[in-house]
Amino acid sequence: MDLGLKNKVAFVAASSQGLGRAVAKLLAEEGASVIICGRNIETLEETAKEIKSIGARVLAVTGDLSDAKDRDHIIAAALKEFEKVDILVTNTGGPPAGQFESFSQKDWEKATQQLLGSAVGLVNGFLPGMKKQKWGRIIAITSQAVKQPVNNLVLSNAVRASVAGLMKSLSNELGQYNITVNNVMPGYTQTARLVKLIENNPAVANVTSEIPLGRFGQPEEFAAAVAFLASERASYITGVSLAVDGGWIKSIL
Ligand SMILES: NC(=O)c1ccc[n+]([C@@H]2O[C@H](COP(=O)([O-])OP(=O)(O)OC[C@H]3O[C@@H](n4cnc5c(N)ncnc54)[C@H](OP(=O)(O)O)[C@@H]3O)[C@@H](O)[C@H]2O)c1
């Protein structure tokens, strides 16, 4: 199946490693130009080099997406290089693990900026161009926690649900401009984030017994779902929350 991604421009947030990196790589393999970002310049440049070797056009911009100034700089750099962004994938690192009483009001504000603030800022930055051309794809990377809270991850459980609410609202508002908006919920996927969660709590390594497919996911398996939603082929799919979790979520819908 041709995904129709040639000549598209994709901005993939927080993409020097992990899920974002796998998404950027796959979109590039499918013919899109990609803008990638992250805070650490070395890992970002390494990823940019790897994606360039596929033959794709790549712009790598460093900065912290939780920070409004950095975010504006990243958006401006992307629009200067490409003029338009057709596909926006929102993402950042996850907030720290812990239970309610271990967090201060400041921690909540930080997590809100990191997850919700970054998504709002990026949509604000790229929406005008999508509306103008009457074509766009907005895809949020959130978590299985949106549908089933994960133990010891209260910040993530609470704030990610607000990102899913934002995306569903946007799907209602932006359909008229031929812009689809969807939410993709990774389950336990083998990235640096998962390694850290297991370091903090070795019991996480055993959750494979709760996953019907019996193993952790690979970033490439997650990226395949995002690439499809970003594609021309997914033109009638909007407002969905798609889990890529090996079956971990226990609800029927
Ligand atoms: N992997 C899983 O099992 C899993 C499951 C559910 C949800 N998630 C969520 O999915 C998201 C991605 O996870 P991952 O596993 O890919 O994490 P990861 O392996 O730690 O990678 C995170 C990427 O985001 C960049 N990044 C982090 N914070 C950033 C910021 N503020 N501004 C710009 N770039 C930033 C990192 O680079 P720098 O550090 O250099 O900035 C890195 O490239 C996280 O929110 C995570 O909580 C992951």
Q: Which atom of ligand 1 is nearest to the CA of 115?
A: 45
Query: pLDDT tens string for the chain (253 positions)?
Result: 999 999 999 999 999 999 999 999 999 999 999 999 999 999 999 999 999 999 999 999 999 999 999 999 999 999 999 989 999 999 999 999 999 999 999 999 999 999 999 999 999 999 999 999 999 999 999 999 999 999 999 999 999 999 999 999 999 999 999 999 999 999 999 999 899 889 988 999 999 999 999 999 999 999 999 999 999 999 999 999 999 999 999 999 9
Strands (E), the chain: 9-12, 33-38, 58-62, 87-90, 136-141, 179-186, 241-244
Q: What share of the chain is helix, strand, coil (3-state, %, to 5)?
A: 50, 15, 30
* Cβ atoms 76, 129 nearer than 8 A: no
Domains, the chain, with CATH or none: 9-243 (3.40.50.720)
Q: Is 188 in the pocket of ligand 1 (CB under 6 A)?
A: yes
From residue 19, alpha-carbon distances to 23, 109, 115, 176, 212 in Å are 6, 24, 15, 30, 21
d(CA 21, CA 243): 19
Q: Is 217 in the pocket of ligand 1 (CB under 6 A)?
A: no
Q: Is the pTM of this model over 0.85?
A: yes
Q: Are strands 87-90 and 136-141 parallel, antiparallel or unpaired?
A: parallel
* Cβ atoms 247, 212 nearer than 8 A: yes
Q: Is 94 in the pocket of ligand 1 (CB under 6 A)?
A: yes
Q: Is 141 in the pocket of ligand 1 (CB under 6 A)?
A: yes
Q: Is 168 in the pocket of ligand 1 (CB under 6 A)?
A: no
Q: Ligand 1 pocket test: pick from 15, 36, 91 the residue with the most ligand atoms within 8 Å of its Cβ.
A: 91
Other beta carbons less than 10 A from residue 3's beta carbon: 18
Q: Is 115 in the pocket of ligand 1 (CB under 6 A)?
A: no
